[in-house]
Structure 1
Amino acid sequence: MMIPIPEQSLVLLIGPSGSGKSTLANAHFLPEDVLPGTGNEAKLHDEVARRLKQGTLTVIDGVPLSAESRRHYVTLAREHHVALVAVAMDTPEPLCLERNRTRTGSHASPRALRNQVQQLQNALKGLTKEGIRHVHVLTPETMEAVAFEHRPLPSHRQDEHGPFDIIGDIHGCFDELKALLTELGYTVAPRADGAPGFDVGAPHGRKVVFLGDLVDRGPGVTNVLRLAMGMVEAGTALCVPGNHEIKLLKKLRGKDVRVGRGLAMTLEQLEREPPGFSQAVADFIEARFPHYVLDDGHLVVAHAGLKEPMHGRDTPEVRDFALYGETTGEADAYGLPVRADWAQQYRGQAMVVYGHTSVPESEWVNNTVCLDTGCVFGGKLTALRYPERELVSVPAQRAYWESRGHAAP
């Protein structure tokens, strides 16, 4: 039995006295990663908060079996954007009693143990409802065969140092993308073997980072996809998905989504492609991660930006922010969500480069910059050279899409 443990996790070992929690912790985790679940709760919670803020794997050996005790850890995991994993030891009461008899020191009385066993059974019915998304139940048999797979987070690409050319929202503007890449020193030509796609030559050592929203609204969606997919496969580009890719993915996977005019244009273009291309596009989008931390943590890229506490973390809240940004809950005169200006409050050390909401000009705000300069609306397509901090743009050949207001929906 293999249990995945994300690199940054809070792991709760839950079970009655004698169920095997400490044995499991000693066998599968480093001593410095394990904290005892008993003692001064306030002090323990402070230590857990400190470790989670640093992104340190933390295992609690013996969480009290009350829902109130677990609620503290649910809150801490949510506040620090780490995965919360519960490993419950469903050990029969007689076996727990037998183990306790052979233990030195204090342990639960038979009556207390019976209460703990009942508490665990009650807890198992509702751990997911408490907000614990990853729940694993072990019996004495599975405990002997269990293994824990410590998984690095895909967002952690600190060993990628660039230099990078980071490109904002393209939205099917292939001619402008080709012109921008040429301006940046890349060469773009049809594939030499005659197959659909492009051979892209990169300046020595440089790599493109696509900020998502490759699709919808523009006339060259499939060419943009072929170019980006080919560069990622060749190792000359990274790509984070945008909200438009995620909606396209849902549609291609057969889910019920509202097909607006922008998505309809993409689907029409995909229908003209050979069989299997749409499946390849869906697989490509699904394999992308919503943000990357690059260059020893000095650079963060995400489609809609990312607050500092979310850098390098992986929770549904982090993914949603990276894809959709933050809204105030209000709508503007066009019925579009009003974006919260998170960049105005940003004070992080890492440079954050993003797109999503079109702006007339890319401007630096507290070490962040938005590269969506509305090419599909008749603006321009913009790239950032990193680490040079040089902005490079090419004008749109024409307006392909009418903008409702100043922001792309």
Structure 2
Amino acid sequence: MKIDVIGDVHGCFEELEQLFSKLGYKKEQIIYIHPQQRVPVFVGDITDRGPHSLNVITLVYHMVITHKKARYVPGNHCNKLYRYFLGNKVQLRHGLETTVAEYKRCSKEEQAIIRQRFMTLYEQAPLYLQIPECNAIIAHAGIKESYVGRANKKVTSFVLYGDTTGEFHADGRPVRRDWAAYYQGDKWIIYGHTPVLQPRFLNKTVNIDTGCVFGNQLTAFSLPEEKITAVSSKQPFVKEKFATYEAH
């Protein structure tokens, strides 16, 4: 099995199509297929902030659910959109407002289709994905080695939001521990969630959220080749959105 793990898309549909093309996928009707049967894996946060979240939902739904040519794990933004579609009271901020604005511009019939597709995608997704053939685990914000094989409230919080301390930065972002610095496993942990200017490799983990929606790049990590492929963003660059780390 050969996989291409795709970082946080956040509604950047044009960049996603460009990335598929650069990876060698061909568009067949409404989905992308690789001639060598490679499998795309979406690392979550496919919507919010970017300009075309509904197009991304439609494409990912058809690739994952209808045609079973891709895999998907949810991110925290996916979780919040799912709760919105459930009818729960959620705050329309941190990017959700852009997806909801797109959604509300649709007809009632189109809204019903989008809602059903996204909820099905979310409900059928694993919290994180283990792919033994590639010696890899894909989890939106990462996962501790001791959490692999488990699924409870604590694991869910970690996988969706990262290793949060309960404190917050001045701009409202949660303070997170650098869990990857302490990872000692032999499986690849491929994750996103925290925007970085370059893919961050540390202790057989790699963060591939290179902040496409903040004007940098949309990135894929391919296994077993251990290869990075990226395309440039069409969005405005917002430097302060990117994390920096101390050297280890």
Native 8 Å contact 1:202 1:236 kept in 2: no
Equivalents in 2 of 1:286, 1:260: separation in Å?
23
Name the amino acid aligned to 1:187.
K
Q: What does residue 71 of structure 2 align with?
A: 238
Once the two structures are TM-superposed, the CA of residue 170 in structure 1 deviates from its matched residue by 0.4
Name the amino acid aligned to 1:395.
S
Residue by residue over 1:108-133, the C-alpha shift from the partner in whole angstroms, topping out at 9 and shown as x without a partner, is: xxxxxxxxxxxxxxxxxxxxxxxxxx
Native 8 Å contact 1:334 1:404 kept in 2: no
Native 8 Å contact 2:7 2:191 kept in 1: yes
Q: Of 264, 267, 287, which aligns to 2:124?
A: 287
Name the amino acid aligned to 2:156.
R
**Range 312-321 or range 349-358, more displaced:** 312-321
Equivalents in 2 of 1:261, 1:344: separation in Å?
27
Native 8 Å contact 1:172 1:216 kept in 2: yes
Please give the secondary structure, in 1, of the residue aligned with 2:63: helix
* Structure with larger Rg: 1
Please give the secondary structure, in 1, of the residue aligned with 2:228: strand
Q: What does residue 212 of structure 1 align with?
A: 44
Once the two structures are TM-superposed, the CA of residue 380 in structure 1 deviates from its matched residue by 0.2
Equivalents in 2 of 1:172, 1:314: separation in Å?
28
Equivalents in 1 of 2:163, 2:99: separation in Å?
26
Name the amino acid aligned to 1:290.
L
Task: State whether structure 2 residue 202 is matched by structure 1 residue 365.
Answer: yes
CA distance 1:404–1:334, shift in 2 (3 Å): farther
Please give the secondary structure, in 2, of the residue aligned with 1:391: strand
Task: State whether structure 2 residue 20 is matched by structure 1 residue 188.
Answer: no
Once the two structures are TM-superposed, the CA of residue 205 in structure 1 deviates from its matched residue by 2.4
Native 8 Å contact 1:169 1:213 kept in 2: yes
Please give the secondary structure, in 1, of the residue aligned with 2:95: helix
Q: What does residue 330 of structure 1 align with?
A: 167
Native 8 Å contact 1:211 1:241 kept in 2: yes
Q: Identity of paired residues, percent?
A: 39
Name the amino acid aligned to 1:199.
I
Once the two structures are TM-superposed, the CA of residue 165 in structure 1 deviates from its matched residue by 0.3
Q: Tell me the TM-score normalized by structure 1.
A: 0.56
Equivalents in 2 of 1:256, 1:335: separation in Å?
20
Equivalents in 2 of 1:338, 1:207: separation in Å?
34
Q: How many residues align?
A: 238
Once the two structures are TM-superposed, the CA of residue 201 in structure 1 deviates from its matched residue by 2.0
Q: What does residue 165 of structure 1 align with?
A: 4
Residue by residue over 1:155-207, the C-alpha shift from the partner in whole angstroms, topping out at 9 and shown as x without a partner, is: xxxxxxx2000000000000000000000001135x3xxxxxx1322232210
Equivalents in 2 of 1:295, 1:163: separation in Å?
11
Q: Tell me the TM-score normalized by structure 2.
A: 0.91
Residue by residue over 1:7-37, the C-alpha shift from the partner in whole angstroms, topping out at 9 and shown as x without a partner, is: xxxxxxxxxxxxxxxxxxxxxxxxxxxxxxx
Name the amino acid aligned to 1:227.
L
For the aligned residues, what is the CA RMSD?
1.7
Once the two structures are TM-superposed, the CA of residue 276 in structure 1 deviates from its matched residue by 2.0
- Name which structure has the greater RCO, CA cutoff 8 Å, separation 6+: 2
Equivalents in 1 of 2:131, 2:179: separation in Å?
21
Native 8 Å contact 2:216 2:233 kept in 1: yes
Native 8 Å contact 1:304 1:354 kept in 2: yes
Name the amino acid aligned to 1:242.
G
Q: What does residue 112 of structure 2 align with?
A: 276
Once the two structures are TM-superposed, the CA of residue 280 in structure 1 deviates from its matched residue by 2.2
Equivalents in 2 of 1:275, 1:329: separation in Å?
36
Native 8 Å contact 1:292 1:312 kept in 2: no
CA distance 1:319–1:282, shift in 2 (3 Å): same
Which runs of no fewer than 5 residues in structure 2 stay unpaired?
244-248
